[in-house]
Amino acid sequence: MQTHQNTVDPGEIAKFEAMATEWWDPKGKFKPLHMLNPCRLDYITNQIAGEFDRDLKTAAPFAGLRILDIGCGGGLLAEPMARLGADVVGADAAERNIPVARVHADRSGLAIDYRHTTAEALATASETFDVVLNMEVVEHVADPPAYLSACHDLLRPGGLHICSTINRNPKSYAMAIVGAEQVMRWLPRGTHEWSKFITPDELFELLRGAGLDPVDRKGFVFNPLTWSWRLSSRDLSVNYVTASLRPA
């Protein structure tokens, strides 16, 4: 059994612990994620459906798939995956997030296995999944290569890894830190550190270094006129998402 080093950054976890009770408030501190969530789900569901030959028009298209949502927070992604029929494990290193997620799932009539744990602990325990969702987490860990290595080991051969993060350039600093934290105040100051942002090319190299095969990347683009997000094949300048596979 391979042991994985813990890549959790205690300072980063403390930031999200402080906001735990607001996960399901669409006007609270997680407003940006609530706004982005439909776009994230569009990408995630289509990637999973395409990779595992599932018809999203059926009642439970993800039945039989085991999905891990790392950094699950209050369950904004775990709950839709469960509604689509998947067997979902939600993991978060911020302990206060787990009761919030469990209560909301219970009220929604959803059976989701929420755990206060880390990707590394799950990998060391030899747990495996068809899909690993790794959304807006990699820019918060202490050691991205080690963390992505654990994500690789959590996937069954042929499994799908979906990872989103924020690009590192002047535009992302202006949008994600100055705009989101200082001007719009969507997030508390200090939620993100620009130096921890990762360019798409860097992330692809990190994924390959972890033994994963990158197969797709798209941008999440915010339109301030319509106050909505869309997927883009060309604009990965701020928020973006990738899909990669563990070779069969």
| Domains of the chain listed by start with CATH number | 4-168+197-245 (3.40.50.150)
**Parallel, antiparallel, or unpaired: how do β-strands 129-135 and 155-166 relate?**
parallel
Give the three-state DSSP class for 235: coil
Please, what is the end-to-end C-alpha distance for the chain in angstroms? 20
For the chain, residues with pLDDT lower than 70 are 1-2, 5, 8, 12-20, 178-188, 190
**72's tokens:** 């699950």
Quote the pLDDT of residue 15: 58
DSSP assignment letter at 244: E
Cβ neighbourhood burial of 3 (10 Å; 0-12, 13-18, 19+) = exposed
Chain position carrying tokens 């604009």? 235
Residues 168-202: pLDDT tens digits?
A: 998 877 777 765 656 556 666 767 777 889 999 99
Largest CA distance in the chain: 52
How many CB atoms sit inside 10 A of residue 51's CB?
18
Quote the pLDDT of residue 1: 53
Which region, left, alpha or beta, applies to residue 2 given φ > 0 means left and ψ of -120 to 50 means alpha? beta
Q: How many CA atoms lie within 13 A of 234 on its CB side?
A: 0
Nearest-angstrom CA–CA distance, 26 and 102: 18
Quote the pLDDT of residue 6: 77
User: Please, are residues 20 and 100 in contact by the beta-carbon 8 Å criterion?
Assistant: yes
Nearest-angstrom CA–CA distance, 207 and 243: 10
pTM of the predicted protein model? 0.89
> CA 199, 202, 205: angle at the middle one, nearest 5?
150
Cβ neighbors of 112 (< 8 A, separation 6 or more) are 75, 78, 79, 82, 88, 89, 90, 101, 102, 105
User: Residue 39: which of 215, 181, 240 has the closest Cα?
Assistant: 240
Instruction: Strands of the chain (E only): list them.
Output: 66-70, 87-92, 113-116, 129-135, 155-166, 213-223, 228-232, 239-245
DSSP assignment letter at 206: H
Nearest-angstrom CA–CA distance, 69 and 131: 9
